[in-house]
Structure 1
Amino acid sequence: MTELLDGVLAAVRETADWLAQRHRSEPLPAAGRAEAFAAFAAIDEPAAGLLRERLTALRPEVGWLDAELAGVVPDSGDWWVCDATDGAVQYLLGQPHWAVTATLLRDGEAVLAVVHAPQLGLSYTALRGSGAWLNGRPITPSARELAAAVVATSQPPAVREDPWALHRAGASLSAVLAGGVVAVRNLGPTALQVAQVGSGHLDAFWEFGLDGPNLLPGALIAAEAGALVTDERGAPWRASSTGFVAAGPVVHHALVGLLN
């Protein structure tokens, strides 16, 4: 599996290099949503095609799911779940907070993950049962207490269509801010932020709503690093869960308490 991880990382880096060469440092001058989507598709579709070609060459028998389009994660078989431009908004705004992600699923569980943010110099990798790494070095989550924690959150793309998740997103932000953390941030791609919990660059991340494909790569990286990855009540997280929490062991219990 280590050899496969090396191949996946190479494919992800090649895709990221292609995107970085076309990345503008200034915001895209798009006045409307349709114009912005068209400009992004012109970049994202070739990048996704390149990534798919490279990963298919590594494992031709593995199926393919687009992280942005996959609503349900299959519970059997081997599948790639990938996002060629995770952080589309940031990419279009000329910001560096975007990444390329690739995850290998086996019977509904992530067994290999890569999250590579080229303009931030961050390459996260993980293998189930073997650990997680940042730029080739083993990582561990922070041991900071809640009062010293910097935490992050985000919202799934379809959160406006889920009244429960929309309400919980707002209520939970108020609760966490009142709970005494140093700061709450949204630093771009969901997978990258969750991976940063694994390396201690963030102390915790939470989210409400269905977002399994986007959460899977970061969830494996954080869990293999030693963070606790659960739903909002502290139960084991699944791709079908409607709440998500990843945190260092010290912060996790307190954060789950605030969310409930």
Structure 2
Amino acid sequence: MQTQINVPYILEQLKIVGDSFLGGFKRSPIPGDAETLGSLFAEIENKALHSIQNSLTATYPDISWVTDEFDMEGQKSGVSVPEYWLFDSMDGAVQYMQHLPGWTFNLVLVRNNAPYFAAVYNPLDNEMFWAVAGEGAFLNDTAIHPTIKADASLMLATFNHPPFQNKFEGLNEVIGKSIEKLLTTFGAVRNYGPLGLMLCSIAAGRIDIFFQYGLDTYNWLAGILIAKEAGALILTAQGAEWTWGAESLLVTAQALPPGFFEEA
């Protein structure tokens, strides 16, 4: 039996977690060695995860948690439980540690290995992107939709790469070629940093294209649901409909130039 969820309550708990990091932003020295960086990263991860788990588990004790964002098997084929939470403790933790903007807190409720509810909270701008499957996408209380452009030279394209891409032979070369394709096709190409926020920015009409090679399912899921509910297409690099375990992601609401997919 699936659990009934209280969306306003969940959004408020996510906001509390995200806002708790505002006071410490730019207070810690920028890490200058691997040990310091690892320690600060673990501190951020543990604080955020424990906070959201404590609040949501008390309210929804029957919903499981998947906390290993680098679980490759789960990212390929899903997890054999009917519903579970996925939480990215801080998407863009590198930016936070470097005293830069561009960090969010991403929460997904997965049911039968499909995202049912998702929220991406940006504390610095007090912006909460969220969606429930079949009910549209919202920025705070306002429905959002992508911007449609006919001219590729006016489109803003973004890209990303999966964590630890150096461990996968040949992946850097493929990523490099995909970035070259973006540069020769669209008017502006950027990497904004927080993956979830880039996908939400497509949902809100601020960005036109997102393109990534390399398996990254757990990091994609929150933004995928929000972008899809806003009206964007969720595809692979070859133009097929994205499904769980696909090793590329292309999100757009635009009509892409002829030949774009065939060359992917």
Tell me which residue corresponds to 1:257. 261
Tell me which residue corresponds to 2:184. 178
Matches within 5 A, 1:72-151: 72=74, 73-74=78-79, 76-145=81-150, 146-151=152-157
> AA paired with 2:153?
A
After superposition, the CA RMSD in angstroms is 2.0
In structure 1, the gaps of 5 or more residues are none
Do the aligned residues in 2 keep the contact of 1:195 with 1:222 (CA within 8 Å)? yes
Deviation at 1:255, TM superposition (A): 8.4
Do the aligned residues in 2 keep the contact of 1:169 with 1:207 (CA within 8 Å)? yes
Matches within 5 A, 1:39-58: 39-58=40-59
In structure 2, the gaps of 5 or more residues are none
Do the aligned residues in 2 keep the contact of 1:63 with 1:80 (CA within 8 Å)? yes
> AA paired with 1:10?
E
Tell me which residue corresponds to 2:17. 15
Matches within 5 A, 1:160-179: 160-179=166-185
Listed one character per residue, the Cα deviations across residues 106-160 of structure 1 (whole Å, up to 9, x for unaligned) are 0100000000001023210001001000121111111013221001111110211
Matched, 1:156 2:162: yes
Comparing both structures, which one devotes a greater share of its residues to helix? 1
The separation in 1 between residues aligned to 2:141 and 2:259, in whole angstroms, is 30
One of 236, 242, 245 as aligned partner of 1:237? 242
| Structure 2 counterpart SS, 1:168 | helix
Q: Which moved more, 1:114-123 or 1:64-73?
A: 64-73
Do the aligned residues in 2 keep the contact of 1:172 with 1:258 (CA within 8 Å)? no
Do the aligned residues in 1 keep the contact of 2:44 with 2:89 (CA within 8 Å)? no
Tell me which residue corresponds to 1:194. 199
Do the aligned residues in 1 keep the contact of 2:137 with 2:227 (CA within 8 Å)? yes
The separation in 2 between residues aligned to 1:188 and 1:137, in whole angstroms, is 24
Do the aligned residues in 2 keep the contact of 1:154 with 1:206 (CA within 8 Å)? yes
Deviation at 1:256, TM superposition (A): 4.4
The separation in 1 between residues aligned to 2:258 and 2:194, in whole angstroms, is 25
Listed one character per residue, the Cα deviations across residues 152-193 of structure 1 (whole Å, up to 9, x for unaligned) are 1111102111224322210011111112x1211111111111
| Structure 1 counterpart SS, 2:219 | helix
Do the aligned residues in 2 keep the contact of 1:67 with 1:214 (CA within 8 Å)? no
Scaled by the length of structure 2, the TM-score of the pair is 0.91
Q: Residues 215, 22 of structure 1: CA spacing in aligned structure 2 closer, same or farther, 3 A cutoff?
A: same
> AA paired with 2:242?
W
Q: Which moved more, 1:63-72 or 1:85-94?
A: 63-72
Do the aligned residues in 1 keep the contact of 2:30 with 2:99 (CA within 8 Å)? no
Aligned residues with identical type, % of pairs: 26
Deviation at 1:3, TM superposition (A): 5.5
Do the aligned residues in 1 keep the contact of 2:159 with 2:190 (CA within 8 Å)? yes
Tell me which residue corresponds to 2:62. 61
Tell me which residue corresponds to 1:28. 29
Scaled by the length of structure 1, the TM-score of the pair is 0.92
Q: Residues 190, 259 of structure 1: CA spacing in aligned structure 2 closer, same or farther, 3 A cutoff?
A: farther
Q: Which moved more, 1:40-49 or 1:103-112?
A: 40-49
The separation in 1 between residues aligned to 2:5 and 2:83, in whole angstroms, is 17
> AA paired with 1:188?
G
Deviation at 1:70, TM superposition (A): 3.3
